[in-house]
């Protein structure tokens, strides 16, 4: 099934209220069942993460694939809002970091697949947000991906020092954070920090839609079970991990979608999954 990305972007932006636009908004992807997006919508602040945006991201919806992207072409997320941070008390900063940790942990533990589409700078907290997702896709022309915190007298405080080593290793993470070095999209791909770099003719969001389309044809309950099974694969001994996999498999035996898939195979047609 194909879709017109330009039409989708137009429809998505039309959903944003013209008066007092939200700092992030949620919308469905046309023609892709179960695929939704969270659009970061603070273009004047380069989608810096504010307390108001955090309140929005605390909301969780039932879906199959969730894509995080910027509503502004050529941007993503510049991390914490330093202008806002300058006026915050130490206690307010502590509260912000606590809530940021909670939100990012909830994104990481969402039952469905998550994709981060990086079409512009991903700095500090913006990169940390990307690390909470299952997949990271970057536009080919992106040149600023970094943890700049040590140059600001702090350290990554929303999981960067913990999630990055699990992805690219301890030594490479130390180099990134100790130097505050900016990476290009291709640098990040080579390092393993992102999973895909879009073609020159497409945006990261368009590439994310393509990946989401492939997932949209799968059974929703099976996708969730697979994510749950894989999520503990590296933290458990093999035998315990295999037991965990079996526990994830077991509920699917009684699902209507499993029966539908078997019937569809016998009848030589595409299955119609309902998430039950």
Report the catalytic residues: 80, 125, 128, 149
17 contact partners, CB below 8 Å, separation of at least 6: none
Whole-angstrom distance, CA of residue 34 vs CA of residue 212:
9
Cross-sheet strand order for the sheet of 196-197: 24-28, 35-40, 65-70, 113-118, 135-138, 196-197
Closest CA to 27 of 63, 78, 2, 81: 63
Region of residue 10 (phi > 0: left; psi between -120 and 50: alpha; otherwise: beta): alpha
* The residue count for the chain: 276
Whole-angstrom distance, CA of residue 64 vs CA of residue 58:
18
């Amino acid at each position: 099934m194909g879709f017109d990305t330009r039409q989708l972007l137009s429809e998505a932006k039309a959903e944003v209220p013209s008066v007092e636009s939200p700092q992030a908004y949620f919308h469905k992807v046309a023609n892709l069942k179960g695929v939704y997006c969270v659009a970061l919508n603070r273009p004047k602040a380069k989608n810096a993460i504010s307390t108001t945006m955090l309140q929005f991201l605390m909301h969780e919806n039932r879906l199959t694939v969730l894509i995080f992207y910027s509503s502004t072409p050529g941007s993503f997320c510049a991390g914490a809002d330093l202008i806002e941070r300058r006026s915050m008390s130490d206690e307010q900063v502590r509260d912000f970091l606590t809530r940021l940790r909670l939100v990012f942990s909830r994104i990481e533990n969402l039952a469905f697949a998550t994709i981060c589409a990086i079409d512009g700078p991903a700095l500090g907290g913006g990169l940390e947000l990307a690390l909470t997702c299952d997949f990271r896709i970057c536009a080919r022309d992106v040149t600023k991906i970094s943890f700049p915190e040590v140059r600001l007298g702090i350290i990554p405080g929303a999981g960067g020092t913990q999630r990055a080593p699990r992805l690219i290793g301890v030594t490479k993470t130390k180099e990134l954070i100790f130097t505050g070095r900016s990476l290009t999209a291709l640098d990040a791909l080579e390092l393993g920090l992102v999973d895909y770099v879009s073609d020159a003719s497409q945006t990261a969001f368009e590439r994310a839609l393509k990946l989401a389309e492939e997932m949209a044809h799968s059974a929703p309950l099976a996708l969730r079970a697979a994510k749950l099974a894989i999520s503990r694969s590296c933290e458990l001994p093999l035998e315990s991990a295999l037991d965990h996999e079996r526990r994830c498999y077991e509920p699917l035996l009684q699902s209507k979608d499993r029966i539908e898939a078997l019937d569809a195979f016998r009848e030589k047609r595409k299955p119609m999954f309902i998430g039950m």
